[in-house]
Amino acid sequence: AQRVTQPEKLLSVFKGAPVELKCNYSYSGSPELFWYVQYSRQRLQLLLRHISRESIKGFTADLNKGETSFHLKKPFAQEEDSAMYYCALYGRGGGNKLTFGTGTQLKVEL
């Protein structure tokens, strides 16, 4: 079975402070990990995926297979980063399904 754990329901940081949203996963094969973001009153959208090793809107995430983690990081939080963030795992052995974590609400305060 594939499982994604996001331990924090809410993360509150001040503008300019570093951000780290935690994500751990459980999967027996080689996973594909993603971060999705949902801004207020907008649809869920892909933020980044581990395969592309990209930085989007200043966010990065590194897949750590030893720790089975895929934490989302940004060095300096901006007010517009306030949103709900979901970590997701795509497992080919699990029926090609995308499994989501419970989400972390990021609130950036001025």
Binding residues for another protein, per CB under 8 A? 6, 9, 32, 34, 42-46, 49, 51, 86, 88, 90, 95, 97-103
- Which is nearer to another protein, 15 or 53 (by Cβ)? 53
Nearest distance from residue 4's CB to another protein, in Å? Answer: 8
Strands in 1-110 per DSSP E: 3-5, 10-14, 19-21, 24-26, 32-38, 45-49, 60-61, 72-74, 83-91, 97-100, 104-109
For residues 36 and 59, the answer to whether their CB atoms sit within 8 Å is no
- Which is nearer to another protein, 68 or 90 (by Cβ)? 90
Distance CA 100, CA 10 (A): 16
- Which is nearer to another protein, 13 or 89 (by Cβ)? 89
Please give the DSSP secondary-structure letter assigned to residue 94.
G
- Which is nearer to another protein, 15 or 65 (by Cβ)? 65
| Residue whose token pair is 């939080």 | 77
Nearest distance from residue 30's CB to another protein, in Å? Answer: 12
Nearest distance from residue 8's CB to another protein, in Å? Answer: 12
